[in-house]
């Protein structure tokens, strides 16, 4: 992996749009409606970000394995997607403060034996 290309708000404004990499298959965070529109919490947050910058948002749905390469090659300006903040990833991308938390739990039958 190589470091991401940094794009400034001024460059995004000059370009006239914000290109957002997003997962299109991870409801409720990101999904595509039957009308073909990107939707979900990540899309909503990205739209607010674009509104703050005063530019429209163009969504680029990405598979999990393609997200960081799309960012580091400049295919997208920013990622809005569920992503674990792993040390290896932090070497090539800069994470924002999380805007939502996702709790993962394991559920099994009461009869299951848990060994520690």
Q: Is residue 114 part of a domain?
A: no
User: Does residue 4 register a pLDDT over 60?
Assistant: no
Closest by alpha carbon to 55, among 93, 94, 20? 20
φ and ψ of 32, to 5 deg: -110, 130
* Total domains present in the chain: 1
Name the 3-class secondary structure at 41.
helix
Q: Is residue 103 part of a domain?
A: no
Q: Quick one: average pLDDT of 77-97? A: 85
User: Does residue 6 register a pLDDT over 80?
Assistant: no
State the CATH number of the domain containing residue 39: 3.40.190.10
Q: Quick one: average pLDDT of 12-20? A: 94
Beta bridge partner(s), residue 79: 21
Beta bridge partner(s), residue 38: 32
Distance CA 81, CA 69 (A): 14
Q: Is residue 2 part of a domain?
A: no
Closest by alpha carbon to 18, among 49, 45, 42? 49
Q: Is residue 52 part of a domain?
A: yes
On average, the pLDDT of the chain sits at: 87
Q: Is residue 99 part of a domain?
A: no
User: Does residue 77 register a pLDDT over 90?
Assistant: yes
Q: Is residue 107 part of a domain?
A: no
Closest by alpha carbon to 32, among 61, 52, 10? 61
Q: Is residue 116 part of a domain?
A: no
For residue 85, what pLDDT is reported? Answer: 81
Instruction: pLDDT band for 76, please (50, 70, 90 cuts).
Output: very high
Enter the pTM of the model. 0.78
* 96-107: pLDDT as tens digits: 888 787 788 888
For residue 2, what pLDDT is reported? Answer: 55
Residue range(s) defining the domain that contains residue 43: 9-90
Q: Is residue 81 part of a domain?
A: yes
């Amino acid at each position: 992996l190589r470091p991401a290309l940094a794009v400034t708000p001024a460059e995004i404004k000059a370009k006239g749009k914000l290109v957002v990499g997003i997962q299109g298959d991870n409801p409720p965070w990101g999904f595509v409606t039957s009308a073909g529109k990107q939707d979900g919490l990540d899309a909503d947050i990205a739209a607010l970000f674009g509104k703050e910058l005063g530019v429209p948002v163009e969504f680029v749905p990405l598979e999990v394995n393609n997200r960081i390469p799309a960012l580091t090659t400049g295919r997208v300006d920013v990622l809005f997607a569920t992503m674990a903040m792993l040390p290896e990833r932090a070497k090539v991308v800069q994470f924002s403060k999380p805007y939502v938390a996702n709790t993962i739990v394991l559920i099994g039958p009461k009869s299951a034996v848990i060994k520690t």
